A and B are shown apart, each in its own frame.
Chain A
Amino acid sequence: MNKKMNKIKILLGVVIFGSIWGLLECVLGSYLPGRVMTGVVALGLMTATRFIYNQKGMQAGMGLIAAALLAVNPLGGCVICSVIAIVVEGAVFELVWFIFSPDIEKAESMSIKVCAGIVTAYACYTLAYVMGQVVTPLFFSNAKLQFGSLAVFIPTILSKGLVAGLIGGVVFPAAASVKQIGVSFLRSKRYYSMGSIASAACWIVVIILYR
């Protein structure tokens, strides 16, 4: 499947699902806690696309597209924090899959899928949180970065990560199960037209609603 798939198809996939991710972050990000967004939206989309396209690096690309969409949304609070978090989530997902990829991709047992979901969501949430805290002060002159302050809060980050991990344990097997539906969409003649329209719609909605 992967060898036969042309690069344009994959690139369009990055744009479609990155745009959907960005739209969901803009619309739901203000209402749902970060751990739920990571466990459901980020992990769900990244896992589903990984199983459908089976393309390394695609999820990091989706993170960049989602981050770009968030950057045009001025009402979403700290744009730079959200952008950092999404880019890190994409990168951490790639890292976990780089280490365990053949085992996760070929995982047929539910226990492996659940564990993969827990590990991926937990790592994505906690590392994105820490990176956000470390990098954000660099963009604001009145804010100070103190590693001591961050260290005090580590138990809370690890505790919140548990929620993301448990959600991930449920979402991952569910997202993996959409593989067949996704692959038939990929093979459909309407993939290019539907995909382009969906991506454009995400951007238009964010620009109209939030700009």
Chain B
Amino acid sequence: MKQGKGEAKVKKRLLILLAVILIIIGVGSTLYITLFKGAEKTEVLLVGETEFSLNELFGTSDLITVGEYQGVSLVEVINKAGIENPEAQEYTIIAEDGYQKTVEWESIKEGIFTSEKRVILPDLPKQYWLKNTTRIEIREK
């Protein structure tokens, strides 16, 4: 592809401008997360309308093992939260940093919540295994 000197100069400037814009966007996003999302750090798990402290959750539940992870069955957590017709709901699992994933009951049935606040869903890829989970929102399908 041949181009004139003028066009080449414009493209070089565009490349530099684009790099600067991306750095500004990246720095701005980092500041936003640090200032606003960091405030959500918590030692509780909110399931629907019910709030569990981690001590409460792990002190009153049996631990089960999934692969190399150990934690509380998500079925037990959902039951303790008093969710009716759990199979008719879909579940949005939300992490401290805002990362969230929505899954079906079939995945929740196999899943656990670990003391490191990680949700393990063995039937789904690891991008669904949220770290630092703070909330599970539940709504009808």
Q: Using an 8 Å CB-CB cutoff, how does the interface string of A153-165 with B read, 1 for contact, 0 for none?
A: 1111011011101
In angstroms, Cα B22 to Cα A169, docked, is 12
Asked whether A122 lies within 8 Å of B26 as measured between CB atoms, the reply is yes
Q: Which residues of B contact A122 (CB under 8 A)?
A: 22, 26
Asked whether A81 lies within 8 Å of B127 as measured between CB atoms, the reply is yes
Q: Which residues of B contact A81 (CB under 8 A)?
A: 125-127
Instruction: Pick out which of these stretches binds chain A: B29-37, B51-59, B74-82, B112-120.
Output: B29-37
CB distance from A26 to the nearest CB of B (A): 15
Q: Using an 8 Å CB-CB cutoff, how does the interface string of B75-96 with A read, 1 for contact, 0 for none?
A: 0000000000000001010000
Residue total for B at the interface (Cβ-Cβ under 8 A): 40
Which secondary structure dominates where chain A touches chain B? Answer: helix
Q: Is B65 an interface residue (CB 8 A)?
A: no
Query: Which listed residue, A101, A143, A158, touches B103 by the CB 8 Å rule?
Result: A143
CB distance from B107 to the nearest CB of A (A): 4
Q: Which residues of A contact B30 (CB under 8 A)?
A: 159, 162
Residue total for A at the interface (Cβ-Cβ under 8 A): 41
Query: Which listed residue, B2, B25, B124, touches A158 by the CB 8 Å rule?
Result: B25
In angstroms, Cα B16 to Cα A169, docked, is 12
CB distance from A16 to the nearest CB of B (A): 27
In angstroms, Cα B16 to Cα A75, docked, is 40
Q: Is B60 an interface residue (CB 8 A)?
A: no
Give residues in B with beta carbon < 8 Å to A: 1-3, 8, 11-12, 14-16, 18-19, 22-23, 25-30, 32-33, 37, 90, 92, 97-104, 106-107, 123-128
Q: Which 3 A-B pairs have the closest CB atoms?
A: A162-B26, A78-B125, A115-B19
